[in-house]
């Protein structure tokens, strides 16, 4: 773990020792101040990632002044703890001064390390640019924002539900969020669609030797393996209702019975689940329990299909090309087709395609190297389909309809010309326009047409 500097301001030696021991178990040693004067000196002269402030020091209310001082000295995470946590007006004042969170002191002293690991997680210096360029590649503003919120919140121990089509990277994202959560245990993954009902129960909860045919030895389940860590339940919509009921009870109690056993086992696991199905629709069909849904969906993260975030396609192609053994270049025309392709298999399909380019004989990828389906990926045109969004309408209001249409025509001509390698006749055919209209769009004078045609005649007749 990177060096994290946290200051604890606490005048009770016993309580300070308990809190510091909880952090020590997580690999972090705290700096300690036991009085107001020393706290002021340390806050003013040292650089801290966080400060934990006892609201009352030696019987005096000084926490509010220390919060202000910490914020003045640019300490990013300021936490206050007190045994007197019922004073809402005081708490409101502390939040107004910049307090990150207000804890009851007995929760910080508990052996339970959830709060301490959450504080450590918030102190981690996460390089989000590196994360979105080299781990979970995306430019999608909404998705990046939601991931950042998750990383800078106290949701690291609460259930998370990730929705999105197959192949969008739900498993990889779950792994990343586990790593950034501060949890000490393992990341354990289980695809619920892989097993029938009896085997899924055994995989989740474990089983006792002899509990069913083939159970030749005791076996721990995934929930126990995920103790102090994260259990990732992929395709949770396929889980039978009987298993859903047992899972709900295990999440609520953090205890469960392995198959064939009358002895409970305990596990402090966090659940991240995912599916491509619409769980609310599954609830209406009575195929998924609504109480389980609300238990696993404390926070919901939605990943859009790749066709709805086309700006990510060139980034992902570059990312996967860099992992290939051979150097491969994709020319602009081929890249334009790839970016226009819908990628029904999403990132997984794109990754497989890029890996197929890893050939010593294929240095430059052009249009001719692309599969037929990528070149002719033209959706059926529906005349009732709306082509204008609010942004387009804003442009029309600003510049007028005629200028807007002219701009669209000009962009279309230049784009198709580029795709056709400046071949004019192919461009006229693709755009279904006459030569006269072509020149009108380009706003060429009669005296210019001959010169232009002479310059293009080689390509125009190819």
Render pLDDT for 418-434 as a digit per residue (tens, 0 to 9).
878 788 888 888 889 99
**For position 321, what pLDDT does the model report?**
94
**For position 113, what pLDDT does the model report?**
66
Mean pLDDT over residues 155-162, rounded?
Answer: 82
Show Cβ contacts of residue 158 under 8 Å, excluding neighbours closer than 6 positions: 270, 298, 299
Q: Give the architecture-level CATH label for domain 6-123.
A: 3-Layer(aba) Sandwich (3.40)
CA neighbours within 13 Å on the CB side: how many for 18? 13
Considering only CA atoms, which of 235, 119, 140, 131 is closest in space to residue 173? 131
Are 423 and 462 in contact, with CB atoms under 8 Å apart?
Answer: yes
pLDDT, one tens digit per residue, over 222-235 is 999 999 899 999 99
pLDDT bracket for residue 154 (50, 70, 90): low
Angle ∠(299,293,195) on CA atoms, nearest 5: 110
Of the options 3.20.20.70, 3.40.50.150, 1.20.1730.10, 3.40.50.300, the CATH number for the domain spanning 128-302: 3.40.50.300
The percentage of the chain sitting over the pLDDT mark of 90, rounded to a whole number, equals 49
**For position 445, what pLDDT does the model report?**
47
**For position 232, what pLDDT does the model report?**
97
The pTM for the full model equals 0.69
Domain(s) labelled CATH 3.40.50.300 in the chain stretch across: 128-302
Does 450 have pLDDT greater than 70?
no
pLDDT, one tens digit per residue, over 163-204 is 999 999 999 999 999 988 777 789 999 999 999 998 999 999
pLDDT bracket for residue 446 (50, 70, 90): very low
CATH topology of domain 310-375: Helicase, Ruva Protein; domain 3 (1.10.8)
**For position 101, what pLDDT does the model report?**
86
Distance between CA 40 and CA 53 in Å, rounded? 11
Domain(s) labelled CATH 3.40.50.2300 in the chain stretch across: 6-123
Are 317 and 338 in contact, with CB atoms under 8 Å apart?
Answer: yes
pLDDT bracket for residue 443 (50, 70, 90): confident
What stretch of H or E contains 350?
helix 346-356
Which of the residue ranges 150-159, 165-174, 280-289 would you say has the lowest mean pLDDT? 150-159
**For position 88, what pLDDT does the model report?**
75
pLDDT, one tens digit per residue, over 49-108 is 999 999 888 888 888 999 999 999 999 899 998 876 556 788 888 899 999 888 877 766
Show Cβ contacts of residue 298 under 8 Å, excluding neighbours closer than 6 positions: 155, 158, 159, 160
Domain(s) labelled CATH 1.10.8.60 in the chain stretch across: 310-375
pLDDT, one tens digit per residue, over 315-339 is 999 999 999 988 999 998 889 899 9
pLDDT, one tens digit per residue, over 93-130 is 889 999 988 887 776 666 556 778 778 877 877 788 88
**For position 462, what pLDDT does the model report?**
43
Are 320 and 354 in contact, with CB atoms under 8 Å apart?
Answer: yes
């Amino acid at each position: 773990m990177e060096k994290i500097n946290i200051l604890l301001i606490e005048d009770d030696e016993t309580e300070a020792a308990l809190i510091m021991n909880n952090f020590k178990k997580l690999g972090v040693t705290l700096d300690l101040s036991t009085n107001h004067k020393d706290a002021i000196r340390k806050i003013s002269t040292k650089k801290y990632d966080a400060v934990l402030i006892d609201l009352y020091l030696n019987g005096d209310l000084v926490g509010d002044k220390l919060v202000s001082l910490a914020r003045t000295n640019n300490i990013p995470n300021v936490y206050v703890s007190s045994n007197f946590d019922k004073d809402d007006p005081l708490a409101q004042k502390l939040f107004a001064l910049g307090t990150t969170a207000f804890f009851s002191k007995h929760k910080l002293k508990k052996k339970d390390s959830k709060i301490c690991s959450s504080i450590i997680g918030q102190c981690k210096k996460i390089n989000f640019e590196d994360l979105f360029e080299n781990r979970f590649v995306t430019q999608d503003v909404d998705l990046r924002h939601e991931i950042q919120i998750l990383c800078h919140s106290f949701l690291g121990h609460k259930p998370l539900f990730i929705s999105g089509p197959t192949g969008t990277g739900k498993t990889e994202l779950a792994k990343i969020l586990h790593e950034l959560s501060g949890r000490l245990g393992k990341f354990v993954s289980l695809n619920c669609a892989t097993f029938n009902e009896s085997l899924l129960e055994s995989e989740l909860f474990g089983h006792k030797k002899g509990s069913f045919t083939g159970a030749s030895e005791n076996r721990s389940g995934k929930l126990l393996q995920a103790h102090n860590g994260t259990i990732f339940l992929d395709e949770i919509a396929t889980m039978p209702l009987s298993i859903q009921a047992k899972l709900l009870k295990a999440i609520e109690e953090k205890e469960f019975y392995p198959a064939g056993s009358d002895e409970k086992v305990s596990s402090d696991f966090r659940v991240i689940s995912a599916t491509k199905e619409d769980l609310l629709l599954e609830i209406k069909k009575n195929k998924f329990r609504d109480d389980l849904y609300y238990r696993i969906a404390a926070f919901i993260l939605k990943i859009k299909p790749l066709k709805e975030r086309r700006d990510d396609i060139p980034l992902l192609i570059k990312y996967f090309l860099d992992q290939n053994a051979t150097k491969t270049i994709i020319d602009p025309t081929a890249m334009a087709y790839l970016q226009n392709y819908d990628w029904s298999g999403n990132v997984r399909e794109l990754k497989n395609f890029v890996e197929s380019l890893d050939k010593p004989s294929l240095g430059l990828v052009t249009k001719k190297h692309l599969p037929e389906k990528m070149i002719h990926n033209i959706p059926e045109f529906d005349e009732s389909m709306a082509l204008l969004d609010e942004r387009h309408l804003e442009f029309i209001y600003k510049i007028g309809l005629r200028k807007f249409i002219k701009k669209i025509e000009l962009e279309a001509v230049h784009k198709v010309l580029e795709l056709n390698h400046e071949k004019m006749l192919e461009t006229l055919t693709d755009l279904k326009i006459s030569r006269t209209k072509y020149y009108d769009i380009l706003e060429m004078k009669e005296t210019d047409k001959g010169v232009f045609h002479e310059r293009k005649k080689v390509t125009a007749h190819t």
